[in-house]
Every structure is written in C-alpha cells, then in structure tokens.
Chains A and B, each alone.
Chain A
Amino acid sequence: MTTVHLPLEYDLKAGWLSPFVEGLTQGRAVARVCAACGRVSFPPLRTCTCGSAEGEWVILSGRATVITRTSGLDGDFALAQFDGADGLTTVALQSTATVAQSPLVLQASDPPRLVLGLEDTA
C-alpha cells in the first residue's frame, strides 16, 4: 500500500452569482426576479424554470419559514420558504434554531453559507 497526501486549496470564482454570494457574507438574501414570468428565485437561477435568462437582482427580507427539517449526525438542515421567494431553499440551521419555531432569518457568514438562525432582537 502507498499513502498519498494531496492538500488542495482551490480559489473558486462565483462569476455571475457574485451578488448572491457576497450577500450571504452580509446576511442579505439577494434573489433573482425573472423578467419574463416574475418568478423570484432564491438561490438565484440564471435560467428561470420558465426558460428565460433575463432578470434582475432583488433583496429579500431574509426571513424564512421552515417547511421540512432534518437533524442527526450530519447536522441540521431544512427546506425553507423565504418571504418573497417562489419555491423553497435548502439551508443549514444554526444549532440554536433547530428547535425554534419560524420565522428564522438568514445569518451573515464568512465563508458564505446559506444558514438560518434566530433573529437578533437586541
């Protein structure tokens, strides 16, 4: 047997998704509004489910309602409905949010992640 160590450090570019990715670092939910059908996608779809690739960026409130959640050794995750978005979004749940009821809010995270947690009411 031969053991190989392969440390890899990627420098990945978000390209057209940059507004969405940069928004996550600030806790802002940057979505895409389709110019053809008006559907709001979050995460943003470059090509809408209607087939159109024309659209504009829009900032949602970041509040979301958990529809289904799963927990266990792999962590805490959910399909959530963001206010103002059509369709659902796959998110990680902060540990403090796993037993809380909705609404939850998008958390600022660096590196960028889709994470929901409790609203900071302070």
Chain B
Amino acid sequence: MWDPQVVVTGAAQTPFNRRKDGTGPRDWAMLAFADAVAMAGVETDQIEALYLASESDFFALQLNPASILASELGLTGAAVVRCESGGCSGQSAVQMATLAIQSGLISHAAVIGLDASASGLPGDKIRSLYGFSFDNWTDGMTGLTATALYALSWQHFSAEQGLGPRHLAHVTQQNRTNACSNPDAHLPRKDDADAIDASPLVASPYRRLHCSPLSDGAAALILSHAKAAPRKTAPQVVGIGAATDHMHLGARSEPGSFAAKQRAMKRACDAAGIHPQAIGAAEVYDAYAGAQLQAVAALGLSEQVDQDLSSGAFAPDGRCPINLSGGLMGQGAPAGAIGVAQVATAARLLEGRYHGALQPSVPPEYALADTHGGVCTTAAVTILRRSGGL
C-alpha cells in the first residue's frame, strides 16, 4: 500500500458526439476545463502543471497541442506535457499527474483529454489512421482494422468462456440504455436483439451496433494534494496500475485474455490494499461489446461472467454497476478524452454528483476507471475511494 495524497477536486466533460456546431477541440477543452476549475474551487494560477491526453495529431492537424492549450486556458507558465498511449492516453495522463502530486513537488494539476475523432475527417480516414495503431511492419501491413483484431481476440475468449451473440447483445443494450439517462452521451439508443442482428457485419461476429462510435469531445480533471484541497469530500486516488502485453496478438499465449489489464489491476489493488471484489462501480473500456466482458474477467470483477451478466450483477442496481455512463459504446469515444472522462465519472459517482437517474442512492466506497490501447496492449487502471468526509 502507498499513502494516498491525491484527491479529485474537479471533474467535468463536454457532451461526446459528432459536432456540427462549428466548434473545435480548443472550445471543448475550455468548456470542460472551466467546469472542472469551478468545481475544484481553485484559481487558475494555482495550477502548476497541465497533462494533456490526445491520441493523434492527425485528427485536428495540430502538433504540440499541450503548449497551445496552456495559452488558451490561461496556464502559461505551468509545466505542460502531452501524454499518448493510444486509447489509453487519458488514463496515462491521469496517472502521470497523480505521480507528480504524490511526489509532493506540486499541489494542483489539470488533466485534459480531447480528440476530434468524428468531425475533422471522414470516418473511413479516421479508421485508416487507427489502422496505424498496430505494428506497421506486421499486423498493420495486413490492412486489418481494430474491429477485426478485437473480433479475433473475442473469438478466443468467447470459446473459452462459452459466450456468444446473446452476451454481446446484453452488453450492447445495457450500455446504451444507461446512456439514455446521460445527457452527455453520443448514442442513447434502445435497440432490441433483432435490430442488433440486422446491423451491418463489420468483422464477424461484430456488427455495427456492437461497436463504439467515433466521437468528438473533451474531459477535464483537477487533481490536488489532499493538504491543498479546498473541499474535504473530494474522492481519493488510492491506487494506480499500468502494464503492457505483447503487441502481436498471435505472440500472446492466450490471444483472448487481457493479461496487461490483469497485471495493471493487481498493481492498482496492491497499492490500494483491496481486492477487486471491493469495487462498487466501474467504468470499463468497452471499445466493443465483447471487450467489456474480456475486461470484466481480467479485472477480477467476475469469476463467472455468464452468470454475473445474467443475474444483473453489472446492471445499475447490481453489486458492481459497469459503465453507468454508457461506456464507450453509449457515451462515446473521443480517444484522448476517454480515460479522463472515466475518472471524472468515477469521482462524481463517489461524491454523489453524477446524473440523477444514474447516481446510486448510496455511493460505493470504491470505483474503478479502466482504459486500454490496442487490443489491450497498453492498460491502465485507477481506483478511487469515497472520502471519509462525505
């Protein structure tokens, strides 16, 4: 266990969707940042560092975005760095900021995640760019897509676990139903199993409705040293963990298992001094419906995925609600913003500040934010704890 010194004083996000209002990523960053600062109760000049998560310069055609945002947000003079680890970028930024504050060298840091994954380029161009997430000289040169790689991984996992289309439909419907109560969500939909089966086949068994969307949006956090936090009810960052797996799916001993996530979770739980069973709400990286179930198993949130899914253990009123926000599938997926928004959701849930219809009447003691890049090649998880002051 470590001695946790970091608290989440500010947590906010913009709606995730496809922007058609003429706004750009800097506008979204400003909106999320202003809301997070207001919630934190700190002045901008108290923020000593900015950690920016953004997956690709090509989405908005802007290199060195951290320095530019520092000026835009009134953080000139602060230390700035851009964090990038594919889809994991947002969580990596949260963890870098946490370590900086935990070190005692700074008291307040801003974490901003953003990407224009929907409106800046046509969808096929964005998907082509994502294809370069994989090793250029091997997997990447086959021309395969993220959906195809995830589909291959899922086939191995589902065969081992006895899972199939019914389970993919369950996750799809649950996440998007949750999104219907989230005003920031990109895809608040209620599709029945027939509609899911009728959606186009992208990479078997994944159909269009099993996939997360390409979204625009931003999320922001203010992390503070506990001694400097204006608000005593701010949730604590009690555990962080990160790990990697082999970049080639075929080089892994079990292509269906998210081993990096399992290792990251163990590190985070060891830091927090808890077991996975203590987690009372989790925002999980559901790039695809099956990936959520692969994550649930790797995180140790379930030893019987089929049984727990069927019994409602992960539903809003279950023992561990998963993706109350709607997750990537329902809330949306602006790459760099994902991990930041997941931590923001977890923090708001623990402090009783989340959207009314989704806020548990009794907040859990621990909440988890789980993010990864590649087909879980890079994984990072963060565990938050409800403050004793609540």
Contact residues in B for A43 (Cβ distance below 8 Å): 135, 137-138, 248
Which listed residue (B144, B201, B206) contacts A77, Cβ 8 A? B144
Q: Which residue of B lies closest to A82 (CB)?
A: B250
Q: How many residues of B contact A (CB 8 A)?
A: 33
Instruction: List the A side residues contacting B248 at CB < 8 Å.
Output: 43, 45, 87, 90
CA distance A72 to B204 in the complex (A): 6
- Report the bound CA distance from A96 to B301 in whole Å: 43
Asked if B151 contacts A70 (CB within 8 A), the reply is yes
Given contacts A90-B139, A92-B143, is CB(A68)–CB(B155) below 8 Å? yes
Chain B residues, Cβ within 8 Å of A21: 137
Are the CB atoms of A74 and B250 closer together than 8 Å?
no
Contact of B152 with A70 in the complex, beta carbons under 8 Å: yes
B250 touching A68, Cβ below 8 Å: no
Chain A residues with CB under 8 Å of B148's CB are 70, 72, 74-75, 77
Total number of residue pairs linking A and B with CB closer than 8 Å:
99
Contact bitstring B245-256, A, C-beta under 8 A = 1, else 0: 010111110010
A73 contacts B250, C-beta separation under 8 Å = no
Q: What B residues does A20 contact at CB under 8 A?
A: 137
14 additional A-B residue pairs with CB within 8 Å, beyond A14-B137, A75-B148, A111-B141 = A17-B137, A45-B251, A49-B246, A70-B205, A71-B203, A73-B201, A75-B143, A77-B148, A77-B149, A78-B152, A88-B249, A90-B250, A92-B144, A114-B138
Which residue numbers of B lie inside 8 Å of A, CB to CB?
Answer: 22, 61, 135-139, 141-145, 147-149, 151-152, 155-156, 200-206, 246, 248-252, 255
21 contacting pairs across A/B (C-beta < 8 A): A14-B137, A20-B137, A45-B251, A68-B152, A71-B201, A72-B202, A73-B200, A73-B203, A74-B203, A75-B143, A75-B203, A79-B152, A79-B156, A89-B250, A90-B152, A91-B142, A92-B144, A111-B141, A112-B141, A114-B138, A114-B141
Measured CB to CB, the residues of A under 8 A from B are 1, 4, 6, 12, 14, 17, 20-21, 24, 41, 43, 45, 49, 68-75, 77-79, 87-92, 111-115
